[in-house]
Structure 1
Amino acid sequence: MKRILFITSTRIGDAVINSGVLDYLVRQYPEARVTIACGPLAQPVLEHSPGLERLIIVRKKPLGLHWLGLWRRVVTRHWDLVVDLRGSAIAYLLRARQREVLKRTRVKMHKVREAAGVMRLDPPPAPRIYLPADARERALQLLPPGREYLVVCPSASLPFKMWPASNFADVVKALVSPGGAMAGAGVVIVGGPGDEEHAMPIKNILPDAGVLDLTGKLYLSDVAAVVERARLFIGNDSGVMHIAAAMGAPTLGLFGPSDEMLYGPYGDKCATVRGPRGLEATLSEFPNWRQHPTSLLEDLRVPIVIKAAEKLLERTEEI
């Protein structure tokens, strides 16, 4: 029986992106005993993976001491395969029959494809999240069948990635109001703890529509089960956007200073949209964009997003 060590990201979105490689491994070696090392935020999207023997939570420490801590926890075992998608040196300090370590290149490719390249997988396996059955049961209770749902996540981990919440409200109203592409659909808002303020404009613009605000109320695996039921998901470049794509929901990602060619939602039912300024002009105009305190998507107008949503709805009608 194979023993596999899989080292993945601390971030939710990156862990989801890497999950396709993990899914390949558990399908290729169904009897394997798998140890996953990841950050605490990524735990909910990985903890129900098949074959999981041990989940090691790696919390960042100064001077990279978290790597030393991980090494101490895995060094006593002889591994059949170590897959390190963090590109650290730890794989070379372990007893292993086979080591596959991510090496960064200057070749521009989607991060899903980059991760798959570690195992030389082409086409790359799509991200996949395994959920417990009760997560889907809870989602059915929240979003009962017989109705379409528009799920939105107006927040993100950093302010420069966030489209103004008032713009989300305008898009949602246009889509679900009479004559809209999703007229009569239920509106669901998701997000993490502390994101509640971003839900307010949507609830305020549709006070009588019974908007279901789940912001900060769900465990991340329950969020995945909820977005799986979406006829359409709209969100900023965030971990939840990647979760929606991995769960098979038609997913529209809104982009500004991050590169959708690298980090766009992955799958046949996904699309991205950005404003006319473009990526290069955005990065040139805001050279310190990673420290920018407010949105860098202000050139993305509401009609552009509505049109992109309508196109995605039309394209996914028969998928």
Structure 2
Amino acid sequence: MSILFITSTRIGDAIISTGILAWLHEQYPEDGITIACGGPASKVFGEVPNLEALHIIKKQPNHGHWWKLWRAMAPRKWRVVVDLRRSAMPWLLLAGKRYSVPKDRTGRHRVELNASMFGLPSLDPKIWTAPEHRETAEKLLAGAKNPIALAVGANWAGKTWPADRFAELADRIRQMKAFLPGAKIVLVGGPDEREAGATLLEKQDGGRVIDAFGLDILSTYELLRKCRLMVANDSAMMHLAAASGIPTIGLFGPTKDQHYRPWGENGFVVRTPDSAETLMDRLHSDNAAVSTLMDGIEVDHVLAKIGELEARGLYKAEADGSAPR
């Protein structure tokens, strides 16, 4: 039999949901898996074990995308249907077991909320890749010592820390003893985020910045695994770095870090002094305020967090200056 997994359109939410796939594969190792998701999110799932099909959900008027999904999935009986979009689909299909993510009433992290469908406390995200993704990452980082990843973009301007502060942060990170000598700054994100990283790209200074904008998701994951630290806006790249296990600092303002902080023991948060609710209230009263929602985070705040992690020994350099594995 087979499993139907219905998940998000957004890449970040899709990454968060991968722990469910790992658990399902462990419970039913012989079953094929069909994944229904948005086009951007599909890039996360290309190497999922026993993947039978990827069904791309394209929003249509009058809920036509759900009827299209139902017509494609109705002819067979499923062992398990899991739905993270709270649609009626699990109850419209023949299935042995049905799960739908509950509404959040407790303020839990989305990893915990997803796992609660199965009576579990959490299910850590897991990304599957292939040798070609690892090879791509190795080529990009060939000879690089102490690579530090930065994700300067996000899917909404209100979540984006000013680019000039990222540039200052990069300069000051290079001066820290923990990242000497020759720290490389690795810029990751979609091709449309390259403009946000222009300030950093202009300061390459002999190739000290590696431009990984537009790299596919799975190769980016392998790239991040080789980095010593990630500093990111609340974004898909932040969740990808956290899934890789490297120390990840997420920058938060108008979004709730209790729901979307970088998951795992190496995930950390620096947020604005104002709460997400306060910032959104400001935005509702003045739409032009969107460009200032992350201004409350200073470069020194981020450096203090990096210093805190250094004091805890989370990224002690190896003798050759390469990233610890």
TM-score of Structure 1 vs Structure 2, range by shorter chain:
over 0.9
Shift of 1:229: 1.1
Q: Distance in 1 between matches of 2:274 and 2:123?
A: 33
SS in 2 for 1:99: strand
After TM superposition, give the deviation of residue 283 of structure 1 in Å.
2.8
User: 1:37-83: per-residue Cα shift (whole Å, max 9, x none)?
Assistant: 11110112112111111111111122321111111110001011101
CA distance in 2, matches of 1:291, 1:81: 46
Contact in 1 for aligned 2:183/2:208 (Cα 8 Å): no
Contact in 2 for aligned 1:255/1:272 (Cα 8 Å): yes
- Please, which of 231, 234, 237 is the counterpart of residue 234 of structure 1? 231
**Which sits farther off after the overlay, 146-155 or 288-297?**
288-297
Q: How does 1:256-271 map to 2 (within 5 A)?
A: 256-271=253-268
Question: Are 2:160 and 1:162 aligned?
Answer: yes
Offset of residue 290 of structure 1: 8.8
Give the RMSD, CA atoms, in angstroms. Answer: 1.9
Secondary structure at 1:23 match in 2: helix
In the TM superposition, residue 209 of structure 1 has moved relative to its aligned partner by 4.7
Match of 1:285 in 2: 282
Alignment partners' CA distance in 2, 1:97 and 1:239: 33
Provide the residue aligned with 1:132 in structure 2. 130
Say whether the 8 Å CA contact 2:104–2:113 is kept in structure 1.
no
**C-alpha separation in 1, matches of 2:288 and 2:130:** 38
- How has the CA–CA distance of structure 1 residues 289 and 17 changed in structure 2, closer, same or farther, with 3 Å as cutoff? farther
Aligned equivalents of 1:202, 1:149: Cα separation in 2: 15
1:233 CA displacement: 0.7
Query: Deviation digits for residues 138-191 of structure 1, max 9, x if unmatched?
Result: 1011113672210111011110010011100101110113x4542321111111
Residue 250 of structure 1 contacts residue 313 of structure 1 at CA under 8 Å; is this kept in 2? no
SS at match of 1:46: coil
Q: 1:289 to 1:213 in 2, by over 3 A?
A: farther
Whole-angstrom distance in 1 between the partners of 2:158 and 2:172: 25
Are 2:60 and 1:61 equivalent residues in the alignment?
A: yes
**Cα offsets for 1:228-247 (capped at 9, x unmatched):** 11100111001111011111
2:170 match: 172
Q: 1:45-124 residue pairs with structure 2 within 5 A? A: 45-122=44-121, 124=122
User: What letter is aligned with 1:264?
Assistant: R
CA distance in 1, matches of 2:139, 2:204: 22
- Specify which of 179, 198, 201 is matched with residue 200 of structure 1: 198
CA contact (8 A) 2:153 2:233 kept: yes
| Greater Cα offset, 162-171 or 202-211 | 202-211
Distance 2:64 2:288 in 1: 26
Q: Determine the structure 2 residue equivalent to 1:148.
A: 146
1:274 maps to what in 2?
A: 271
Query: Distance in 1 between the 2:66 and 2:93 partners?
Result: 12
Equivalent pair of 1:165/1:199 in contact (CA under 8 Å):
yes
What secondary structure, in the 3-state scheme, does the structure 2 residue paired with 1:271 have?
A: strand
Change (3 A) 1:134 1:314: farther
Q: For the residues of structure 2 that align with 1:51 and 1:297, how far apart are their CA atoms?
A: 42
Q: CA deviation at 1:281?
A: 2.6
8 Å Cα contact 1:162/1:295 also seen in 2:
no
Letter in 2 for 1:305: V
* One-letter identity of the residue aligned with 1:75: A
Q: In percent, how many aligned pairs have the same letter?
A: 36
1:287 maps to a residue whose letter is H
SS of residue in 1 equivalent to 2:91: helix
Number of aligned residue pairs: give it.
315
Indicate if the aligned counterparts of 1:139 and 1:226 stay in contact, CA closer than 8 A.
yes
Is 1:225 the counterpart of 2:217? The answer is no
Q: Mark the runs of 5 or more structure 1 residues left unpaired by the alignment.
A: none
Letter in 2 for 1:303: D
Q: Which runs of 5+ in 2 are unaligned?
A: 317-323
Query: Could you tell me whether the CA contact under 8 Å between 1:111 and 1:262 is conserved in 2?
Result: yes
CA–CA distance in structure 2, aligned partners of residues 28 and 46 of structure 1: 18
Q: Name the counterpart of 2:243.
A: 246
**Change over 3 Å in CA distance of 1:158–1:246 after alignment to 2:** same
Name the SS for the 1:294 alignment partner. helix
2:195 and 2:154 map into 1 onto residues whose CA distance is 12
> Which consecutive aligned stretches of 4+ in structure 1 deviate over 4 angstroms post-superposition?
288-293
